Amino acid sequence: TENVNIRDLTIQGSPTQTYDSGASCIEMGNVKNGYVDRVAILNTHGFAVYFGLFGTAGFTADGWGIRDCLIRGIGTQCIGCISGRNGQVLDNQILDIQPAPTAPFGAVMDFEPNEAGAYQENLLVCGNTMDGRAAQQGWAGIVMQAVDVPASKNNIISDNTCIGADAESLFFAPAD
C-alpha cells in the first residue's frame, strides 16, 4: 500500500474490554509513505497505531509517521513499529496511560525489530509528551530492542517528555 494519510479523525474505544495485543486502531503493516496526522485515539484496549509488521514476510514500513496526535487512555502500547525505515514520531501527546492489568509490562512507544530480518532504521522520535501518572502498573516511555544489533541504526530520539514512568523512560535492549 502506498501514499496513505489518515488525518483529522477521532477514534473512541472502550478500555473496559479485554486487553488484546492483536488489535490496533490503526495498523499499517506494509506501507510506503503512510502517515497519521492530527488523529485523536481515545480509551482503547488494544494498540493505538502500529507500522511495519513481520519484515521477513515483506510487511515493512518505509516512509511512515505519526504526527501531532492525541492518544489518551490506551490499555497497552500506543505507538510502535516492528520493521521499518524512515519513520517519524513527532509532537504527539500521550496521556492517561493505563496498561490493562492483564497486559504485559507496558511501553508507550515500542520499536522492536524483534525477528531475524526485521530492522528499524532512520527513525526520528522528537517532541512527544508521555504522561502515565494514572497508570496502575509499570510502564516505560520508549523501548527499542532488536534481535540483531545491526537491525537498529541511524535512529534519533530527542526532546521527549516522560512523566510518571515506573521504569526507564528510554530503554534499549540490543541482542546479545
**Polymer length of the chain:** 176
Residue 108 · residue 75 · CB < 8 Å: no
- Residues 55-65: what's their mean pLDDT? 81
pTM score, whole prediction: 0.87
Amino acid at 163: I
- Residues 94-112: what's their mean pLDDT? 72
Residue with the bigger pLDDT between 95 and 101: it is: 95
Q: What are phi and psi of 138, to 5 degrees?
A: -65, 150
Percent of the chain with pLDDT over 90: 32
Query: Which pLDDT score, from 0 to 100, does residue 176 have?
Result: 40
Residue 27 · residue 4 · CB < 8 Å: no
Q: What is the pLDDT of residues 3-45, one digit of tens each?
A: 999 999 999 987 666 666 667 789 898 899 999 999 999 988 7
In the 3-class helix/strand/coil scheme, how is 127-168 assigned residue by residue?
CCEEECCCCCCCEEEEEEECCCHHHEECCEEECCEEECCCCC
Query: What integer best gives the mean pLDDT of the chain?
Result: 81
Closest-CA residue to 162 (of 149, 135, 152): 135
- Rounded to 5, what percent of the chain is helix, strand, coil? 5, 50, 45
